[in-house]
Amino acid sequence: MPTSITIATPSARPAVAARTRPTSLGARGEPFLWALGGGLALGLLMIVGFLFLVFWNGIVTFWPKPIETVTLRSGAIVAGEPTRSNNYRPGPEVVAQLPEAEKAALARRDGYAERTLYRTGNYDIYNEDFRWVSDFEVAKTERPGGFYFLERLEWGPCVGTIKAVEAGGRKLEGAAIKDEAITALHRTARARWAEIRAIERGRIGDVNHTLEKERLALRRVALEAGAGSEAHRAASARFEARAVELRKAHETLAAEAAVLKAEDAKDRITLAEVGGREKTLALSAVVRLYPANDLDLGDRIAIYLGRWLEFLTDEPREANTEGGVWPAIFGTFAMTLLLVIAVAPFGILTALYLREYAKQGRLVAIVRISVNNLAGVPSIVYGVFGLGFFAYILGGSIDQLFYPERLPSPTFGTGGLLWASLTLALLTVPVVIVATEEALAAVPRSMREGSLACGASKWQTIRNIVLPRAMPGIMTGLILAMARGAGEVAPLMLVGVVKLAPELPIDGYFPFIHLERSFMHLGFHIFDVGFQSRNSEAGKPMVFVTTMLLIGLIALMNLWAIVVRNRLKRKFVGSSF
């Protein structure tokens, strides 16, 4: 009989949701990732914003602006270049004198009014060269033709209309005054001024230099052989004969310059400011003039490029607020180059000894800690040390040994280009030491052991294996040192930088390179123009354009060093740093 088999199936169990352990958002790292990314973005935004501010204000500084004549409600007229505008709150005494309509307009704007700053020039007439004009003062604003903008050697720019031009024995007035004629006469006057300058600063300067050299030679004989000795009497006779020749040459050159000056005094230009007052000045004293409201695009571009050329190749004038910065460019470049030449061997040799030769122990650890702490010393302290040790002690000793005839006037015993470079080398040497040590440590030990196993000495291994592969890292340290040293100002104020030093430390006199001379620096130039000039508004454009130039110069020097470093990296592509 068949039997039936019953298979019991388990009853269906209710589905149970999978249990997950809650994880905090902080444990996953997303908040920290967003915070780091936001910090990076904020930092980049600040850098880009700063560079944009500097470069925009620097690029537009030399662009020629139109001249506006503003007729005020009082009847007075103001003429000048509009430079910038802003909002401000007039004082209650000013508001009380306004008409009811203007008071109501101010009330609608919460008491704020708009004003424009005009560069009026004519400092020798107005005793100011900038003037604020509020919008409630203005009755009419125009840009009439015939207004000229003159850049002068002294007293800043001049704004007005040309009344007369006297040059070459003829006088131009009224309709005879043409832009082409004025330009030709001005070019001739400036060429004559350059000739006078070449005589006074070049040929007469050579005569004075030779005379001073002969005088110092006579004094040296007096110090060595004694005053009144036979050698001193013979040297005195030679000096007197030579001095007579030099004085005659000086008188001849001075007479030649006097003739040119008398001729130059006949070339004059008469300018009338917007109020009618006239000013007559030598035509050669005008650096540049142009009809501001009658320029086309080509004329504006020519003036813009001409101003840039003057800025990059000429020397400063008007308390550094006008003219060029070529001495500061040269001084910054020369100081940075000497800084690198001084800091590279000292920093590299120190790091090489600490990493490769010194026995690692407590003493070496103390030295490393001291080097790291030196990076935190204020830069002004280095300036005080450089002035005391390099200038007064070392420079004073050099003067006693090699230049006794110049004393008590110091030669090396005062601030100069050499002492400034050595001071900044001490300031930046910790950066080079640390970077070089890290680069040396990154060279694999196996490469050292392989070289030694092949029979090379330790120095041969370092010279042929370690140093070439560590050179990219060493170059990184030099780039950082160069960037920091080129931008330092505080130590330089004590060891050689000055407000104005138009003569470069390189000339045609032996030894041709004069490292003992004071020099100009772009960083100090920025400080001087921004905070030491008589008019901050006149110096503000030069601050931006000089800052832009300093950033560009440092970038170019760093770019050159980066190119060298990258070539070394490609040469030793198998190394790790």
Summarised one tens digit per residue, pLDDT across range 378-398 is: 889 999 999 999 999 999 999
**Residue 177: what pLDDT?**
74
Shared domain for 148 and 213, answered yes or no, is no
Question: Which pLDDT band holds residue 319 (cuts at 50, 70, 90)?
Answer: confident
Mean pLDDT of the chain: 87
Total of domains in the chain: 3
| Cβ atoms 159, 79 nearer than 8 A | yes
**Residue 20: what pLDDT?**
57
Shared domain for 273 and 241, answered yes or no, is no
**Residue 577: what pLDDT?**
38
**Residue 525: what pLDDT?**
92
| Residue 186 reports pLDDT greater than 50 | yes
281 inside domain: yes
Shared domain for 139 and 277, answered yes or no, is yes
90 inside domain: yes
Domain membership of residue 110 as a residue range: 55-169+269-310
Shared domain for 410 and 541, answered yes or no, is yes
* Lowest-confidence region among 72-81, 324-333, 468-477: 468-477
Residues 122-179: tens digit of each pLDDT: 998 999 889 999 998 899 999 998 899 999 998 889 999 998 888 877 787 776 677 7
**Residue 385: what pLDDT?**
93
Average pLDDT for residues 312-336, to the nearest whole number? 91
| Residue 537 reports pLDDT greater than 90 | no
Shared domain for 108 and 177, answered yes or no, is no
| Residue 258 reports pLDDT greater than 90 | yes
Shared domain for 332 and 274, answered yes or no, is no
* Lowest-confidence region among 2-11, 174-183, 351-360: 2-11
Shared domain for 110 and 157, answered yes or no, is yes
45 inside domain: no
81 inside domain: yes
Shared domain for 347 and 431, answered yes or no, is yes
Shared domain for 379 and 364, answered yes or no, is yes
88 inside domain: yes
Shared domain for 352 and 367, answered yes or no, is yes
* CB atoms closer than 10 angstroms to residue 141: 14
Residues 401-441: tens digit of each pLDDT: 999 999 889 999 999 999 999 999 999 999 999 999 988 98
Question: Which pLDDT band holds residue 534 (cuts at 50, 70, 90)?
Answer: confident
**Residue 536: what pLDDT?**
79
Shared domain for 191 and 214, answered yes or no, is yes
Count of CA atoms in the C-beta half-sphere (13 A) of 13: 4
Judged on CB neighbours under 10 Å (0-12, 13-18, 19+), 96 is: exposed
Strand duo 286-291 + 278-282: pairing: unpaired
Question: Which pLDDT band holds residue 34 (cuts at 50, 70, 90)?
Answer: confident
**Which CATH number do you get for residue 531?**
1.10.3720.10
213 inside domain: yes
Q: Rounded to an integer, what distance in angstroms lies between the CA atom of residue 327 and that of residue 318?
A: 15
| Residue 471 reports pLDDT greater than 50 | yes
409 inside domain: yes
Contacting residues for 267 by C-beta, under 8 A, at least 6 apart? 166, 167, 168, 185, 188, 189, 192, 282, 283, 284
pTM over 0.85, yes/no:
yes
Shared domain for 226 and 277, answered yes or no, is no
| Residue 37 reports pLDDT greater than 90 | no
12 inside domain: no
Beta strands in 235-313 (DSSP E): 268-272, 278-282, 286-291
